[in-house]
Amino acid sequence: MPERPSSKWALFTRTGALLLSGALLSACSTPAINLARTEFYKGNYAQAETEIDRAETDELNEVLWRMERGTIRQAAGNYQGSSEDYIRSSDLLKDLETYSVSKGAASMVVNDNVQSFIGVPFERAMLHDLTALNHFAVGNWEHAAVEARRIIQVQHADVRGEYPDDAFSRYVAGTALLMVDDYSNAELQYRTASDLLDGLTINAIGVIAPVPITNQAPDEASTTNAPPPKPAFPRTRTATNQYPAMLTCFALLGKSPSGQELLNGMGHSPLDRYVEIYHRNEYLGRTYTLTDVYALAYRTAELEALRKAAKTAARVAMKEGVAQSLEHNDQALLGALVRLVLIGLLEEPDTRRWETLPHWLQAATIACPPDLDEYDAVIKTASGITLQTIHVTFPITRKGNRLISLFRDLPSPPADGTAVAEVTDNAVAP
C-alpha cells in the first residue's frame, strides 16, 4: 500500500526538524567562545578561561575550543596548561585524519558546520609553533625540539601541498633545534625562513637583518620590515655586538581576522608595527615581521574557495533536485519546505577559525648583556609612533649565553602575581 502524503509530510517534518536542530547544535558553543575572545583581548585572561569553559563543546568543535583556550592560557603565563590544550588538539587532528563517512554525508545534506573543525594547514602548523614557544618559556629545550620536527613535517611540500609555507614556523623550528645543538638543521630552517622573506636575511644563528635596498622604488619596500626612524626612547647608548650573550625575542602582535572578516574579504589594519627592545634605557635592537597572519589567512581562503564553492554547488543542486522531485509528485508545499529548510536555513558557510591568533608574528635575535633579566618592548608603527610599552620580566629563559623570551601586546591582567608584562602606554589595536 503506497505511503499517504500525510505520512510523507510527517516524515519530512521530523527529518527537517532533526537536521535543523543538528545544525544549530553544531554552533551552540559560538556565543560562549566569542565572549571568551572578547575578555581575552581586554586582558581579562581568568574571565576569558571561565567563559570558554562554559562553552558546551562537542566533538565537532573540541579542536577549536582547545586552540582558543590554549592561547588564553599562554597569554596568562600558564604555559603547561596551554601546551596540554595544544597537544590535545594536535592528537585529535590525527584521529580526524580518517575521513568520517557519516559526517561527510551529513555535510552534503546540511552544511560544513556539521563536520568536525580541523582548521586549515597554517593553523595546524601553528599548534606546533605555539607549543614550542611554551616549551621555550619554561626552558624545556628537548620538548621544543620535538615540536620543531613536527613543524618540519607539516611544512613539507608533500604534506602542505599548494598551501603556503610560513617563515615564522621555520624560524621557531630553527631556534628550537639550535637550543639542542643541532646546528646544521637549525641553519637549514633559518635559511628556509630567509628564502621565504622579501627584504630580510637570516643567518646561521638566527640574526635577522634587512637586505640593503638597491634600485627599488619606495612603494615596493616593506613598511613593517623597513629600517625604523631613530629610536626616540630615552637611552644611554646603543648595544654593540661585543656582548657575549644573544637574546631571541618572539613578539606576537595584534589580532588576526575573524571568520566573518575572512568571509567578507575585509582588509587588515594599516597600522603595521615593529618592536624596539631596550635594556635599562639601552637600545638592543628590533623585531621583524616573519609572518603576517592576515596575508596567510587570505591566501589560504583563496585556495579553499574553489573547493568550497564546488562542494556548495553540488549540495545546493542535490537539495534543489529533491525539491523539484517532490513538486513533480504533487507535493509543492513539501518541495517549498525543502527549499526553506535545506537551502534557506541550513545553507550557511563555515566561518569557524582560530581567532585568538596574532596578526603579526615577529622575532629578533640581538646581542644583549649576559645578566639580562628584564627588558622594555616598545611597540611602534612603521612611521615610528609609539603605541605601547611592555616591561617584560618573564618569561626569560637561558641556556649558556643564549636567552629566549616572548610577549604579546595585550593589556595586563589585574596585579595578582600572574601578570607577565606591564603595559604603560596605549592598549592593543587590531
More confident residue, 246 or 21: 246
Tens digits of per-residue pLDDT, 307-342?
Answer: 655 555 555 455 555 555 655 665 565 555 555 555
> What is the pLDDT at residue 352?
83
Choosing among 3.60.15.10, 1.25.40.10, 3.40.50.1240, 3.40.50.170, the CATH entry for 30-300+352-423 is 1.25.40.10
Rounded to 5 degrees, φ, ψ at 366 are: -135, 155
| Domain residue extents for the chain | 30-300+352-423
For the chain, state the CA radius of gyration. Answer: 25
For the segment 59-80, the average pLDDT, to the nearest whole number, is 93
> What is the pLDDT at residue 196?
95
> What is the pLDDT at residue 395?
96
For the segment 204-224, the average pLDDT, to the nearest whole number, is 70
Q: Indicate if the pLDDT at residue 245 is higher than 70.
A: yes
> What is the pLDDT at residue 322?
57
Q: Indicate if the pLDDT at residue 367 is higher than 50.
A: yes
> What is the pLDDT at residue 409?
93
Mean pLDDT over each residue of the chain, to the nearest integer: 78
Question: What's the CA gap between 351 and 224, in Å, rounded?
Answer: 29
Among 57-66, 320-329, 380-389, 396-405, which stretch is predicted with the lowest mean pLDDT? 320-329
- Whether the model pTM is above 0.85: no
Kindly indicate the confidence band of residue 7, based on its pLDDT and cuts at 50, 70 and 90: low
Kindly indicate the confidence band of residue 197, based on its pLDDT and cuts at 50, 70 and 90: very high
Kindly indicate the confidence band of residue 423, based on its pLDDT and cuts at 50, 70 and 90: very low
Q: Indicate if the pLDDT at residue 20 is higher than 90.
A: no
Q: Which of 27-41, 53-67, 237-251, 392-406 has the highest mean predicted lDDT (pLDDT)?
A: 392-406
For the segment 401-424, the average pLDDT, to the nearest whole number, is 68
Kindly indicate the confidence band of residue 108, based on its pLDDT and cuts at 50, 70 and 90: very low
Kindly indicate the confidence band of residue 421, based on its pLDDT and cuts at 50, 70 and 90: very low
Closest CA to 5 of 320, 340, 334, 338: 334
Tens digits of per-residue pLDDT, 269-292?
Answer: 556 899 999 999 999 999 999 999
For the segment 359-374, the average pLDDT, to the nearest whole number, is 96
Q: What burial class does residue 138 get, using C-beta atoms within 10 Å of its C-beta: 0-12 exposed, 13-18 middle, 19+ buried?
A: middle
For the segment 387-396, the average pLDDT, to the nearest whole number, is 95
Kindly indicate the confidence band of residue 374, based on its pLDDT and cuts at 50, 70 and 90: very high
Q: Are 364 and 283 in contact (CB under 8 A)?
A: no
More confident residue, 307 or 201: 201
Kindly indicate the confidence band of residue 39, based on its pLDDT and cuts at 50, 70 and 90: very high
Question: What's the CA gap between 118 and 14, in Å, rounded?
Answer: 30
More confident residue, 348 or 324: 348
For the segment 92-105, the average pLDDT, to the nearest whole number, is 61
More confident residue, 330 or 117: 117
Q: What percent of the chain has pLDDT over 90?
A: 50
How many residues are listed for the chain in this entry?
430
Tens digits of per-residue pLDDT, 256-266?
Answer: 887 777 767 66
Tens digits of per-residue pLDDT, 138-183?
Answer: 999 999 999 999 999 999 998 888 889 999 999 999 999 999 999 9
> What is the pLDDT at residue 418?
41
